[in-house]
Structure 1
Amino acid sequence: MMASSSTRHRVLALYKELHRLGRDYPDPAYDFNGRMRRMFERNKSLTDPEEIEKALKLGEYIKNETLALYSLKKYRHLKQKYPLSSDSPSQS
């Protein structure tokens, strides 16, 4: 029972993190939070610990990829705001 409670807390924490990340998703037509919710609802009946762990790892992967997307978006925005000067030695 203790492992089940621990797993439940991990799942809820992941859900909350993904939900918060979904607020700022750049493409509103993608419906990040709706897709994420449906993914969690599809997996709510999982009982095999290996399958649960596999689903958690997929959720963590999605979280990390979304964070990377946001970092890239911020980088691109900053790069547009502060273009390289013509006397700068680096080119990109």
Structure 2
Amino acid sequence: MVVPAMQLASKIPDMSVQLWSSALLRDLNKACGNAIDAHEAAQMHQNFSQQLLQDHIEACSLPEHNLITWTDGPPPVQFQAQNGPNTSLASLL
């Protein structure tokens, strides 16, 4: 039952849910005394944690992230339209 749960955990598209489910599997296996499965779930948890951290770092480094702290003046970012020229956020407001 735990193996299908681990396979399912890796297919969930939400990274936070993957992290949570892998932690549950790790703790469940540890409580049941399944050292090998607990180690495998801990490795999954570590991988999900690293991926989530990397995604966060990448998101914070994007220029769009400056919009979070923008309160005055012209927008800090220029957006590239998919099929057109650069447009500023001001023209979209």
Shorter chain as normaliser: what TM range? Answer: 0.3 to 0.5
- Bigger-Rg structure (1/2): 2
Whose relative contact order is higher, 1 or 2, with alpha carbons under 8 Å and at least 6 apart? 1
Q: Which has the higher strand share?
A: 2
- TM-score, normalised by the number of residues in structure 2: 0.40
